[in-house]
């Protein structure tokens, strides 16, 4: 457990910035304009001037909430396996490096608002203030162990608050279903039945709506393949979360090592032009 964390957000600044990112028909001209705009933004502070005041306490440990991406990393059905190909070798070149090819939504990764909602922020346009948040962990391992279709319900949020107090302002709310332990067995992680239906836990759309509409959160995350549970047909949690301009994280690792309340999540999100999301290095302090 750590000392108090206070985050004050200047809402006007963030709201205006959220509207900056949009993906339209990517003509060559539009692409050139987008590149130019992105690079101009690189040269100036992305945050600052009091847009965020972080008062951090004392932390004793750093945690890695990120799975290693490998050629056998489980991916959402329809996505290709990531490829890691030799590019430079010690023998031939005197040094070592690889070429990488993967779909953005691979491994521990971000879903940016633009992943589902045209015109909303792409990953590269998210203000970096949103990459620091008090982490609230909803533990549904008990139910998920016997029911792979378990979902985080509004009552789970209320039970967390009964035990730990109101969700802190700007919180990131993560589901711990224990699913990360299945990562080495892709079939068990994806858990697709004979009819093609996936079975893994996620956020019920009603819980996501509660968080987006009645609490002050910065995003939600899961330790499974999708913010919505595997059997979802309407992707209600994706739509509710992403249409509000908030981002999600999927495939989180090691949440069980952290306290339910009091940790700080730090999201090293992707910065590929017009990214719909992508592999992220997700860290936590506690």
Q: Is 115 a catalytic residue?
A: yes
Place of tokens 């306290």: 259
The CA distance from 197 to 228, in Å, is: 13
Q: Which is nearer to a copy of itself, 157 or 182 (CB)?
A: 182
| Nearer to a copy of itself among residue 113 and residue 148 (C-beta) | 113
Q: Per the residue annotation, which of 67, 105, 109, 115 is the catalytic one?
A: 115
- C-alpha to C-alpha distance for 55 and 79, rounded to whole angstroms: 41
Burial level of 259, CB count in 10 A (0-12/13-18/19+)? Answer: middle
CA–CA gap between residue 5 and residue 156 (Å, rounded): 23
The minimum distance between CB 154 and a copy of itself, in angstroms, equals 26
DSSP assignment string, 238-268: HHHHHHTT-EEEESB--GGGS-SSSEEEEEE
**Burial group, residue 12, by CB count within 10 angstroms (0-12, 13-18, 19+):** exposed
| Of 144 and 210, CB closest to a copy of itself | 144
- Strand-pair partners of 151: 202
Q: Least distance to a copy of itself from the beta carbon of 279, Å?
A: 7
In whole angstroms, the minimum distance from the beta carbon of 110 to a copy of itself comes to: 10
* Maximum C-alpha span of the chain: 61
Of 9 and 215, nearer to a copy of itself (C-beta) is: 9
Q: CB of residue 81 vs a copy of itself: minimum separation in angstroms?
A: 12
Q: What's the DSSP call for residue 195?
A: T
**Residues taking part in catalysis:** 115
């Amino acid at each position: 457990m750590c000392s108090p964390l206070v985050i004050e957000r200047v809402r006007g600044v963030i709201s205006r910035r959220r509207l900056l990112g949009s993906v339209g028909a990517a003509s060559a001209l539009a692409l050139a304009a987008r590149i130019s705009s992105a690079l101009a933004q690189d040269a100036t502070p992305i945050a600052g001037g009091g847009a965020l005041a972080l008062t951090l306490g004392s932390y004793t440990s750093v945690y890695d909430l990120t799975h290693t991406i490998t050629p056998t990393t489980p991916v959402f059905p329809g996505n290709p396996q990531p490829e890691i190909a030799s590019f430079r070798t010690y023998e031939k070149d005197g040094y070592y490096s690889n070429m990488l090819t993967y779909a953005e939504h691979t491994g521990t990764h971000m879903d940016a608002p633009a992943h589902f909602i045209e015109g909303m922020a792409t990953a590269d346009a998210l203000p970096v203030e949103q990459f620091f948040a008090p982490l609230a962990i909803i533990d549904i391992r008990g139910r998920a162990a016997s029911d792979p279709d378990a979902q985080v319900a509004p009552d789970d949020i209320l039970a967390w608050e009964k035990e730990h107090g109101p969700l802190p302002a700007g919180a990131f709310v993560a589901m711990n279903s224990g699913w990360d332990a299945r990562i080495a067995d892709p079939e068990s992680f994806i858990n697709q039945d004979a009819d093609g239906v996936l079975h893994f836990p996620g956020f019920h759309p009603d819980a996501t709506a509660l968080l987006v509409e009645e609490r002050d959160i910065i995003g939600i995350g899961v330790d499974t393949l999708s913010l919505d549970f595997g059997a979802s047909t309407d992707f209600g949690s994706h739509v509710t979360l992403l249409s509000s301009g908030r981002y999600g994280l999927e495939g989180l690792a090691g949440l069980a090592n952290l306290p339910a309340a009091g940790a700080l999540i730090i999201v090293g999100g992707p910065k590929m032009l017009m990214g719909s999301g992508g592999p992220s290095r997700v860290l936590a302090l506690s």
